[in-house]
Amino acid sequence: MTILFINSIGKNKWGGGEKWIVNTAHGLQQLGHKVIVGGRRNAVLIKAAQEKGIDTTRINYCNDFSLFSSLQLTQYINKHRVSVIVASLNRDVRVAGFAAMLSKHKPRVIGRQGVQLITKKWKYKFTFKNFSHGILTNSLSLKKIYDSYNWWDDTFVKVIYNGIAETQPCLKPFNYASICELTPQTKVILSAGRLDKQKGFGYLVKAAKIAKEKNEDFKFFIAGTGKQFKYLSKLIADNELKNHVFLLGFVEDIHSLFKGADVFVLPSLYEGMPNVLLESMLEMVPVVTTPVNGAAELVEESKTGFFIPTKDANAIYEKIKFVLNNPQITQQIAAQAKETVLEKFSLDKSVQLVDAYLLEILKERDTASISMQLRWFEKVISKLRTFGHKNFKPAYYLKNYLKLKLLPPFNKNGIHRIIKSKNLYSPEYLSSRVNYYNKLNSTIIFDDSIKSLKEFVFTGEEKTYYFDTWRYTRLFDPNHKLAYKFGDVTTVPANPSIVKSRPILGNNKNSILLNLNYIRHFIFVKDRYAYLAKKNLLVWRGNVWTYQPHRIDFFQKHFENPLCNIGHVNKADFDSTWLTDKLTIDEQLKYKFILSIEGNDVATNLKWIMSSNSIAVMPTPKYETWFMEGTLKPDYHYIHIKDDYSDLNEKLNFYIRYPEKAEEIRINANKYVSQFKNKKREKLISVLVLEKYFEKTGHLPSVR
């Protein structure tokens, strides 16, 4: 097979990941494969590959995605018939994955992760689920982190430890005396790696300061280059350690450094499988390291090395002191460490495992490549369809910001045109709606604590609530007083107040409903899937928090239910095993039954479910909004289940067995939703609700 390794890291960067590429590429080439390494022009990586006799190619991008680079890579793939691409950085996966989709030969794309480059964000999920066929990493801890995201099955992330070749004795040990004056009693403490914050070298410098203060004859040497060179140089200078800590820069033969070192220290904050630890252990230099990621898998405390906590300069000093004061113990540990490396971390074994993994990946190339493309395109199409289902928020915000800037704050004359439209509609219908939202039946006079409309000004907070209230209040007298309570309201205010939501039961007359935050809550869909063509399952996606015990209860009882495809998509504030993939609205519409379960107040998804060809499944609602949830009839507008969800399977099975009964509910739900689609009538009702509000709070109405 033809294998292409690509790494778009900076041309002067050289670390464990780059070393792994060169060693693995060389080993695979010796097994008979055609291997190519791609990198920046004149990069250290490219030079090292060429010295090993490996073919190289130039890649020329440095941003998150480059369409031009993908097209160029597509041509290269076609020309060289590339079978597998091993991509180092996340952007390499995106560029290579897109190129692979466009190419004739459809190579497999593997992301190689030496350290954690993926966090639980949608962009990484999208990248690796759509543009790669797997992740190759070098530590079990990293696999556990990635698998915990629940984005893929447990075979997607493969662990193969780094390997190291047994080196010949170094003929020319590094001359530390050329850097600084050494006495026979001087102890050399060595560290190496890319000079990045990740490596924790600042804490090693601080440990050197402690050693100096205690008059220890220690000299600290740090090999490597990187963006923290200036920071570390300043830290050394500020602590007057120029004669105690030395930055060596890039050292081509790192093995020469080990020959004169007494201790090797790796104070990393996080790691992959650090090559430099393997090299130190192979050279029988005692290692002191933080137990992070792969280092914890490589080193066994007090048997093959020593652990120190992260970010603890004093602990670094104390452990170095212990190692130097106990040479007999540490020599035995160093010898055991070398045996462990030779037995478990040989380069030949690592290359053979990579070879077997890539060959296995290739077995399913044809069907999986097609599947990947279909999955990607289907996902894009689904997102586009969902975009069509939802209200367009940018336009909503732009329109309302412009109104605030360009329109006068009050327009009492504008109400006349709206009121005139009353003749177009049934007086009984209008009256029933208005009196449902506004149940005030006697006059209430506000005290001075309630502000007037002219004091109802935009502060930048609760934007949608303000916009949706102001569009109507500006039509009334600015001296009228208005009480309001924005957000998810689950109690009844002391004063008659404008709210988005209220409890259904009890005396709720002080809660006056307006259609607030409708941009989020009032979504109606155009469902292209016929009811009978949908899946006989219940679906739900949303958030779950500890203050929503009713949702937690449902998950505890039905997450494993074969009739359910449910899961939360947020990072819950408790230990949950119910996290799952997001589904777009369009994807949820492929199911016959959609759970509508209240959150902080009402269930946001109820409106679009009832406008679709699917059916809402829910207990009796406890809160209501402009949608008048309190008027919905169980098993007429929605499938009703008990508050303890104990009859869920019984209800689902009944409506699966009798689809004509389910269709009746769907038709009733669609008819119910249709009354909210007349925008002019909804605007009129909103104005009439406010007019009654101002009448019942002792103000003369602007229009009678």
pLDDT of residue 703: 42
Evaluate the CA torsion angle 164, 165, 166, 169 in order and state its sign.
negative
User: Within the chain, which residues score under 70 in pLDDT?
Assistant: 115-116, 167-171, 364-390, 700-704
3-state secondary structure of 677: coil
Let me know: does 300 contact 280? Beta carbons within 8 Å.
no
Q: What is the pLDDT of residue 361?
A: 86
The predicted structure's pLDDT at residue 214: 94
Which ranges in 88-217 belong to alpha helices (H)?
A: 90-102, 122-131, 140-147, 201-213
Per-residue confidence (pLDDT) for residue 665, from 0 to 100: 97
Question: What is the separation of C-alpha 78 from the centre of its chain, rounded to a whole number of angstroms?
Answer: 34
By C-alpha distance, which of 589, 641, 597, 633 is closest to 615? 589
How far is it, in rounded angstroms, from Cα 135 to Cα 150? 14
* 438 Ramachandran zone, left/alpha/beta (phi>0; psi -120 to 50): beta
Which pLDDT does position 702 carry in this prediction? 40
Q: Distances in Å between the alpha carbon of 264 and those of 161, 239, 260, 334, 694?
A: 21, 22, 11, 11, 79
Q: List the beta bridge partners of residue 36.
A: 4, 55
Which amino acid, one-letter code, is at 298?
Answer: L
Q: Distance between CA atoms of 511 and 490, rounded to whole angstroms?
A: 10
- Print the SS3 string covering 623-640: EECCCCHHHCCECCCEEE
What gap in Å lies between CA 244 and CA 209, rounded to an integer?
8
Q: Residues with Cβ < 8 Å from 159, sequence gap 6 or more?
A: 137, 138, 139, 140, 142, 143
Question: Structural domains in the chain?
Answer: 2-161+360-378 (3.40.50.2000), 176-340 (3.40.50.2000), 393-520+680-696 (no CATH), 523-675 (3.40.50.2000)
Helical pair 16-30 and 347-363, crossing angle rounded to 10 deg: 70
β-pairing, 615-618 with 2-6? Answer: unpaired
Q: What's the 3-state SS for 373-414?
A: HHHHHHHHHHHHHHHHHCCCHHHHHHHHHHHHHHCCCCCCCH
Whole-number Cα distances in Å, 440 to 276, 400, 494, 646 = 77, 30, 13, 39
Comparing CA positions, the residue from 272, 345, 268 lying closest to residue 304 is 345
Q: What is the pLDDT of residue 229?
A: 94
Q: Looking at residue 349, what is its pLDDT?
A: 87
As a whole number of angstroms, the distance between CA 316 and CA 209 comes to 11
Return the bridge partners of 481, or none: 452
What DSSP designation does 611 have? Answer: T
Task: Write out pLDDT tens, residues 2-27.
Answer: 999 999 888 888 877 888 999 999 99
β-bridge partners, 566: 540
Q: What is the pLDDT of residue 82?
A: 92
Angstrom distance (rounded) from CA 703 to CA 419: 8
pLDDT, tens digit, 9 for 90 and up, residues 247-263: 999 887 888 899 889 99
What is the pLDDT of the chain when averaged over all its residues?
A: 89
In the numeric block, the tokens 């390997």 are attached to: 163
Supply the pLDDT for residue 238.
95
Six token digits for residue 434: 């208005």
What pTM was estimated for this model as a whole? 0.51
The beta-carbon contacts of 96-101 under 8 Å, at least 24 apart in sequence, are 96/6, 96/70, 96/131, 97/127, 97/130, 97/131, 97/132, 98/65, 98/67, 98/70, 98/131, 99/70, 99/71, 99/73, 99/74, 100/131, 100/369, 101/131, 101/369, 101/372, 101/373, 101/376
Q: What's residue 171's pLDDT?
A: 56
The CA-based dihedral angle spanning residues 17, 20, 26, 28, taken in that order and rounded to the nearest 10 degrees: -110
Please give the pLDDT value at position 389: 65
Q: Give the span between the Cα atoms of 425 and 683, in whole angstroms.
A: 13
For tokens 């508050």, the residue is 643
